[in-house]
Amino acid sequence: MRPHLDCVQMRPHVIVNCAMTADGKIAGKSRRQFRISSTEDMERVRKLRTESEAILVGVNTILADDPHLTVKGLSRDTAPIRIVLDSNGRTPDQAEVLNDCARTIIVTNRRCARTWKGAEVLRMGERAVDLHELMKELEARKVQRLMVEGGGETIWSFFNAGLVDEYRIFVGSMVLGGRTAPSPVDGEGFEDHGCVRLQLMSTQLLGGGVLLCYEVVRDVPPA
Ligand SMILES: NC(=O)c1ccc[n+]([C@@H]2O[C@H](COP(=O)([O-])OP(=O)(O)OC[C@H]3O[C@@H](n4cnc5c(N)ncnc54)[C@H](OP(=O)(O)O)[C@@H]3O)[C@@H](O)[C@H]2O)c1
């Protein structure tokens, strides 16, 4: 049973999904992509993407990994929309996320004037992208499930804004180390007593690693 009351949610259901090493890193100190997921986990991620209307990453992930964020077997019109948080317009013109295989939205702040061939641009927020405004826009576009794939700054912003419903983390069986290596949730961090509580919903061995699925525990609003 869910441990919290669900408010009527007029926004997409947000699932954070990422892969970390057994020592809690989502990439090494070079911040370049490093394969952590097993083949079985990659298949799970493919399925989760298929079931989502949109997939979101921060621009540092675009610059570090140049992911295409597409789903094999889905056409441009049926694939989830790719969304990049990019306040200052740093996404390179040749980024894979701008290819023709799926629709792409780049979200900048209101001061940025850059445009891209191959992407729709939304402008919201004065500095960083305003996530609450973005959620309203996605709700209006009938996005029911949003998958947030990283990196750590982006996932932190979603937690900090109270916008995460589920947290799914694959733990790969390796150690990377490095005090500057990114973790699933970076950002400023909460004060010790302000942490986000999670309820563990399931665990699964998945090709040499383990998948942990949590739901975010919401405070019961006062009567
Ligand atoms: N293992 C995994 O599953 C996985 C998945 C994804 C990424 N990664 C790794 O994660 C690393 C990148 O993560 P990262 O934490 O450096 O960056 P990130 O989360 O990918 O991107 C953060 C950037 O997005 C922009 N942004 C705009 N609005 C934002 C908002 N409201 N909240 C947060 N960011 C906003 C900011 O740049 P501007 O100020 O320029 O707009 C910010 O610095 C890479 O090493 C990558 O390999 C790993």
Q: Which atom of ligand 1 is nearest to the CA of 33?
A: 47
Distance 71 CA to ligand 1 centre (A): 21
Buried b (16+ CB within 10 A) or exposed e, 23-37: eebbbbeebeebebb
pLDDT of residue 3: 35
pLDDT of residue 220: 65
Confidence of residue 1 (pLDDT cuts 50, 70, 90): very low
What secondary structure letter does DSSP report for 185? Answer: S
Average pLDDT over residues 193-198: 93
Report the distance separating Cα 132 and Cα 150, nearest Å.
Answer: 17
**Does residue 192 register a pLDDT over 90?**
no
Nearest partner of 139 among 6, 13, 7, judged by Cα: 13
Pocket of ligand 1 (CB under 6 A): 18-19, 26-27, 31, 33, 36, 57-61, 64-65, 85-88, 90, 128-129, 131, 149-154, 157, 182, 186
**What percentage of residues in the chain have a pLDDT greater than 90?**
91
Average pLDDT over residues 66-73: 96
pLDDT per residue as tens digits for the range 143-189? 999 999 999 999 999 999 999 999 999 999 999 999 999 999 999 99
Distance 183 CA to ligand 1 centre (A): 11
Assess whether the previous peptide bond of 207 is cis (omega < 30° from 0): no
pTM (2 d.p.): 0.95
Residue 76: φ, ψ to 5°: -55, -40
Distance 154 CA to ligand 1 centre (A): 5
3-state secondary structure of 167: strand
Distance 106 CA to ligand 1 centre (A): 13
What secondary structure letter does DSSP report for 8? Answer: P
Maximal C-alpha separation, the chain: 53
pLDDT per residue as tens digits for the range 109-139? 999 999 999 999 999 999 999 999 999 999 9
Confidence of residue 193 (pLDDT cuts 50, 70, 90): confident
Nearest partner of 15 among 167, 150, 132, 134, judged by Cα: 167
Label the pairing between strands 209-216 and 166-172: antiparallel
Strands (DSSP E) found in 29-186: 54-58, 81-85, 104-108, 120-123, 145-150, 166-172
Output the average pLDDT for the chain: 94
Cα–Cα–Cα angle for 137, 142, 147, rounded to 5 degrees = 80
Distance 60 CA to ligand 1 centre (A): 4
